[in-house]
Amino acid sequence: MLVTGANGFVGRALCESLSERGREFRPVVRARREPIGGAIPFSIGDIGAHTDWSSAVDSVSEVVHLASRVHVMKESGGDVAALYREANTLGTLRLAQQAAAAGVKRFVFVSSVKVNGEERDEAYSEDDQPAPIGPYAISKRDAEFGLWEIASRSGMEVVVIRPPLVYGPGVKANFLSMMRWLHRGVPLPFGTIKNKRSLVAIGNLVDFIVTCVDHPAAANQTFLVSDWEDLSTADLLVRLASALEVKARLIDVPVPVLSLAATMLGQGELLRRLCGSLRVDSTKASRLLQWSPPLSVDDGLKAAADHYRASV
């Protein structure tokens, strides 16, 4: 099995899980680094339309493609769109084309719920028409479309996974910021937020990826995956604080006041994520693959919190 992006947040966890399961895998990174999951990484360089994957995919039966240019808030512009397209669309399709030519049987592509769209009250499902906003989401959608074309021509099986926010040991970005705020006892003005958001613990996502590699019914399907429990921002902060063994200091501030303050500070997108709902319906994974998340939300939060506390 080939795993791209093996030194990333999800990739490293997947490789470690594969090693624990006794599975053979070939980790791929842009530049050679220390062993991952006990395996020496394969260095591929920059990923784009002209990357040569032929040596990497030689004698490989499955590919799990995690490597991508990640979404960054406030990033926009024509040049940025071209960078996302080069790495996430053209790079993905270049790998898929060479994988199909090499006889790879199944290609698992970890995409994003952002292909479905942004915040809304109704839960997304796999049957929804994609409505990506922004160059990152568009690049992922275009990669998905291209993969289905390659699958139809070559016979290589494709599986697309669209996760929401992934959290767990070593998480970065906004989730790490929330843990820092809580651990330091910072008062947070989010007590009145009653939204609903789907999350997926990294252990659950890794387990689902392995299921999609192995399960016959996963072939040529798209899946939305989550922990099966949606949380409001306030609920998440309270339960994350409990995992950190501290008390969440939440202040009840009306959302219009928060919105005005966020706009003045140029943090409108961040507030939209904190206040808006973004849910996914994961019943297809249960129905078709008989999959259920091995970790509860509280298990996942505790794993993230324990790692954070050990690092500070």
Catalytic residue among 124, 136, 167, 308: 136
Q: What are phi and psi of 253, to 5 degrees?
A: -120, 125
pTM of the model: 0.94
> What is the per-residue pLDDT for 271?
78
pLDDT of residue 279 exceeding 60, the answer is yes
Average pLDDT, the chain: 94
Write down the domain spans for the chain: 2-162
First to last CA, the chain: 35
Sign of the alpha-carbon dihedral angle for 281, 110, 177, 7: positive
Q: Is 136 an active-site residue?
A: yes
CATH 3.40.50.720 fits 2-162, yes or no: yes
Choice between 274 and 279, residue whose per-residue pLDDT is larger: 279
Give tens-digit pLDDT for 119-167: 999 999 999 999 999 999 999 999 999 999 999 999 999 999 999 999 9
Give tens-digit pLDDT for 197-231: 999 999 999 999 999 999 999 999 999 999 999 99
